[in-house]
């Protein structure tokens, strides 16, 4: 289905009637925008809670918000969900009674059922898509609601972290090829082989959009959000930071893995296989072209962005002869894995290794990990170091421009910032400096001024 664009609209883009009207205008501006994936309504104000969070709170009998130290009962969440959808339908002048009845029925049905968290969590996308589809038709845009169960979007039974099963791609292609108008599709969930609803990890509407783009071989996947694109650094920290116009999949992978909050990584995987460009756009600013993610590009700059991760800890271990011990690093990483802790880096020398991880993940496990490592590896030196920030400049132009690391190190030296960790990626398009958290803001400013100005 060449010359067809898949558009995914995030929660802020469909948070209220005003935003949904913007979505309608975006769709009518380009006839190639035929497949519209929508999220559940997001926050209309900063004081709001997301509809999905309210639904999960209902499903967990209030535990969801209690774990966040918020006094929101299941009754309050129930009321908030119903009022949100009533407000949307009323403001959009969409027929609502049947939707309200079916939403209420689904909530009541799920309260006493097994696997109810995934089912209820998906209802925000499910009913928001139906409302938007009705609104499009009311506005003269021929549209059809296509549910995951209608198009055969089959997923694994890994509830709350489902993965798409390959047969889905044929199913999706066959179903969507028969849609004559605009297909409005709820994101975030699919169906297991047993007919249960299973959701992707949070942010999974991005994944739905990416998988549909892959299935139909779309010409473009547009990801509409509330930001002008992907910035060189967090604009809250560096206000003058600019939007990056073009990135490769490799660059965005590195940036997102080191702290850039972009969108669901899995949404990019299959798009990359078919060289489908992904464009990050702002629903509220059509004048911005956003950021285009492509397979290849000619670099016009050396560094495109600097990712930042705070509150990193690293485990340091040294043992004489470790370099001659086959599988030493593998066995050490296996200990960390057994505690369900994700690692970021593990730079090694001959007889020592450092393993970087999120220090919050160590809570409750630190003493056990220490005991296990000391017993099984008998290190000469073993310690945990805390409160580390890492900065990771990324750019494919870096490979053919010598001296980038030296420039960055000099910028930090001039600010009297000591570097605790230095590591360069093997592709030579990224490197990583680590230092105490207290230096984070000044270090980011120094490296931004030296590498991106």
Residues 6+ apart with CB under 8 A from 453: none
> Residue 89 has what pLDDT?
96
| C-beta separation of 78 from 61 below 8 A | no
pLDDT tens for each residue of 212-242:
999 999 999 999 999 999 999 999 999 999 9
Quick one: tokens of 285?
Answer: 């600013």
Cα–Cα distances in angstroms (integers) from residue 444 to residues 255, 258, 395, 447, in the given order: 15, 14, 16, 5
| Model confidence at 263: pLDDT above 90 | no
Burial 50-64 (b: 16+ CB within 10 A, else e): bbbbbbbbbbbebeb
Q: pLDDT band for position 112 (50/70/90)?
A: low
| From the candidate CATH numbers 1.10.620.20, 3.40.50.12140, 3.30.2130.10, 3.40.50.720, the one assigned to the domain spanning 305-451 | 3.30.2130.10
- Alpha helical stretches, state H, 112-248: 116-121, 123-138, 148-151, 167-176, 204-216
> Residue 157 and residue 135: Cα distance in Å, rounded?
33
Secondary structure letter of residue 426 according to DSSP = T
Rg of the chain taking only CA atoms, in angstroms: 24
Confidence of residue 96 (pLDDT cuts 50, 70, 90): confident
Taking the domains of the chain in order of start, what are their residue ranges? 5-294, 305-451
Which tokens go with 328? Answer: 């030493």
Whole-prediction pTM value?
0.90
Q: Are strands 421-424 and 381-394 parallel, antiparallel or unpaired?
A: unpaired
Would you say domain 5-294 falls under CATH 3.40.50.300? no
DSSP string across 243-258? BPSEEEHHHHHHHHHT
Q: Mind listing the pLDDT tens digit for each residue in 349-389?
A: 888 998 999 999 998 899 999 999 999 999 999 999 999 99
**Cβ pair 72, 49 in contact under 8 A:** yes
């Amino acid at each position: 289905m060449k010359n067809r664009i898949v558009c995914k609209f995030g929660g802020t883009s469909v948070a209220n009637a005003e935003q949904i009207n913007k979505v309608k205008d975006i769709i009518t501006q380009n006839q190639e925008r035929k497949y519209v994936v929508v999220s559940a309504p997001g926050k209309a104000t900063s004081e709001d809670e997301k509809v999905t969070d309210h639904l999960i709170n209902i499903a967990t009998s209030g535990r969801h918000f209690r774990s966040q130290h918020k006094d929101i009962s299941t009754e309050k969440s129930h009321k908030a969900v119903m009022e949100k959808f009533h407000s949307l339908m009323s403001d959009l002048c969409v027929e609502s009674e049947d939707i309200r009845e079916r939403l209420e029925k689904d909530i009541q049905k799920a309260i006493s059922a097994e696997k109810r968290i995934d089912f209820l969590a998906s209802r925000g996308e499910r009913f928001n898509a139906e409302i938007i589809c009705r609104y499009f038709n009311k506005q003269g845009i021929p549209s059809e609601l296509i549910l995951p169960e209608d198009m055969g979007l089959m997923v694994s039974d890994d509830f709350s972290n489902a993965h798409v099963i390959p047969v889905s791609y044929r199913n999706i292609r066959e179903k969507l090829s028969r849609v004559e108008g605009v297909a409005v599709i709820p994101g975030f969930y699919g169906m297991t082989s047993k007919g249960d609803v299973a959701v992707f990890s949070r942010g999974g509407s991005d994944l739905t959009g990416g998988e549909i783009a892959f299935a139909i071989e779309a010409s473009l996947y547009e990801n509409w959000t509330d930001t002008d694109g992907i910035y060189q650094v967090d604009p809250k920290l560096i206000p003058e930071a600019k939007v990056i116009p073009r990135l490769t999949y490799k660059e965005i992978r590195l940036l997102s893995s080191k702290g850039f909050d972009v969108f669901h990584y899995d949404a990019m995987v299959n798009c990359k296989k078919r060289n489908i460009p992904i464009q990050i756009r702002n629903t509220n600013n059509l004048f911005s072209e956003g950021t285009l993610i492509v397979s290849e590009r000619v670099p016009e700059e050396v560094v495109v962005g600097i990712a930042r991760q705070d509150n990193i800890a690293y485990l340091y271990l040294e043992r004489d002869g470790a370099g001659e011990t086959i599988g030493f690093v593998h066995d050490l990483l296996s200990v960390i894995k057994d505690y369900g802790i994700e690692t970021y880096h593990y730079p090694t020398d001959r007889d020592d290794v450092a393993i970087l991880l999120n220090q919050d993940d160590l809570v409750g496990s630190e003493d056990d990990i220490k005991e296990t490592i000391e017993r099984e590896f008998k290190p000469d030196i073993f310690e945990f170091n805390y409160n580390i920030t890492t900065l990771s400049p990324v750019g494919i132009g870096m490979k053919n421009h010598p001296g980038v690391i030296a420039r960055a190190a000099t910028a930090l030296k001039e600010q009297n910032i000591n570097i605790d960790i230095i590591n360069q990626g093997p592709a030579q398009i990224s490197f990583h400096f680590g230092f105490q958290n207290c230096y984070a803001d000044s270090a980011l400013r120094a490296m931004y001024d030296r590498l991106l100005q």
